[in-house]
Structure 1
Amino acid sequence: MRQSTETVFVDTSLGRIAGLRRDGVCRFRGVPFAEAPVGALRFCPPRRKTPWTGTLEAFEPGVIAPQLASRLLAVMGDFTRRQSEDCLRLDIVTPGVDDARRPVVVWLHGGGFSSGAGGLDWYDGGLLAGEGDVVVVGVNYRLGALGYLVAPGISDGNLGLLDQALALRVVRDIVAGFGGDPDNITLMGQSAGGNSIAALFAGGHPMKGVRRAIMQSAALGMRPQDSVRARALGADFVSELGGDPDKPDETRVKLAELPVSAILGAQAAVARRHARFGDTAPPFQLVQASAGLSDTIAFDHAAADAMTGIDVLIGVTADEADAFFALDPRAGELDASAVAELVGELYGPRGVGALDLMARRNGDIAPGALLSAVVTQDVFVEPAIAFACRRAADGGKAYVYEFGWHPAGSPLGACHCLELPFVFGPAQAWGDAPMLAGADPVEIAELSATMRAAWLNFVRTGDPAAAKLPTWPIFTAGRKNAMRLDRRSAIRDLAGDPC
Structure 2
Amino acid sequence: MDVQVQLSCGRLQGVRQEGVYQFSGVPYAEDPVGALRFRPPVPKAPWNGILDATRPSVVAPQAASRLAAVMGEFTGTQDEACLQLTISTPGLDDKKRPVLVWLHGGGFSSGSGGIDWYDGRELARLGDLVVVGVNYRLGALGFLVAEGVSEGNLGLLDQALALEYIRKNVASFGGDPGNLTLMGQSAGGNSIAALFAGKHDVSGVRRVILQSPALGMAPQTARAARASGHEFLKALGLSPDAADLRSQLQKLPVAQILAAQSEVARGGARYGDTTPPFQLSQGEEGATQQDFHLSAAEALQGVDVLIGITADEAHAFLMQAPRTQIVSAEEVAHCVRDIYGASAVDCLLQIEARHPHEYAGLHFSRLITHAVFAHPTRQFAQRAHQCGSRTYFYIFDWQPEASPFKSCHCLELPFVFGPSDAWAHAPMLGGGDGELLADIARKVQSAWLSFVHAGDPSTDSLPPWQCFTEQTPLVMHLSDSPHMRTEELCLP
The answer as to whether partners of 1:159 and 1:291 remain within 8 angstroms in 2 is no
Structure 2: distance between partners of 1:394 and 1:89: 34
Alpha-carbon shift at residue 292 of structure 1 (Å): 7.9
Q: Does residue 54 of structure 2 align to residue 59 of structure 1? A: yes
The answer as to whether partners of 1:156 and 1:291 remain within 8 angstroms in 2 is no
- Secondary structure, counterpart of 2:12 in structure 1: strand
Q: Return the match for 1:256 from 241, 250, 256.
A: 250
Q: Does residue 276 of structure 2 align to residue 285 of structure 1? A: no
The answer as to whether partners of 2:281 and 2:288 remain within 8 angstroms in 1 is no
For 2:260, give the aligned amino acid: A
Structure 1: distance between partners of 2:404 and 2:107: 22
Matching residue of 1:96: 91
Q: Return the match for 1:188 from 167, 183, 191.
A: 183
Deviates more, 1:355-364 or 1:236-245: 236-245
Structure 2: distance between partners of 1:479 and 1:359: 28
Structure 2: distance between partners of 1:352 and 1:393: 30
- Secondary structure, counterpart of 2:393 in structure 1: strand
Alpha-carbon shift at residue 77 of structure 1 (Å): 0.2
Q: Does residue 103 of structure 2 align to residue 108 of structure 1? A: yes
Q: Does residue 302 of structure 2 align to residue 309 of structure 1? A: yes
For 1:428, give the aligned amino acid: D
Alpha-carbon shift at residue 424 of structure 1 (Å): 0.3
Deviations 1:149-169 (A, max 9, x none): 000111110000000000000
Matching residue of 1:459: 452
The answer as to whether partners of 2:4 and 2:13 remain within 8 angstroms in 1 is yes
Deviates more, 1:486-495 or 1:205-214: 486-495
Structure 2: distance between partners of 1:496 and 1:405: 17
Matching residue of 1:379: 372
- Secondary structure, counterpart of 1:346 in structure 2: helix
- Secondary structure, counterpart of 2:214 in structure 1: coil
Identity over aligned pairs, percent: 54
Q: Return the match for 1:368 from 348, 361, 383.
A: 361
Q: Does residue 40 of structure 2 align to residue 45 of structure 1? A: yes
> Structure 2: any 5+ residue segments left out of the alignment?
none
Q: Does residue 247 of structure 2 align to residue 271 of structure 1? A: no
Structure 2: distance between partners of 1:444 and 1:58: 32
Alignment of 1:308-347 (within 5 A): 308-347=301-340
For 1:282, give the aligned amino acid: P
Deviations 1:405-463 (A, max 9, x none): 12114210000000000000011000110001221111100010111000000000000
Structure 2: distance between partners of 1:392 and 1:137: 27
Alignment of 1:209-220 (within 5 A): 209-220=204-215
Q: Return the match for 2:217 from 205, 216, 222.
A: 222
Q: CA RMSD in A?
A: 1.2
Structure 2: distance between partners of 1:225 and 1:409: 37
Deviations 1:61-95 (A, max 9, x none): 12110000100000000012111110000000000
Matching residue of 1:83: 78
- Secondary structure, counterpart of 1:344 in structure 2: helix
Deviations 1:320-339 (A, max 9, x none): 00000112101112111111
Matching residue of 1:3: none
The answer as to whether partners of 2:134 and 2:159 remain within 8 angstroms in 1 is yes
Matching residue of 1:490: 483
Where do 4+ consecutive residues of structure 1 move more than 2 Å? 289-292, 493-498
TM-score (norm 2): 0.98
The answer as to whether partners of 1:102 and 1:179 remain within 8 angstroms in 2 is yes
Q: Alignment length, in residue pairs?
A: 491
The answer as to whether partners of 2:156 and 2:195 remain within 8 angstroms in 1 is yes
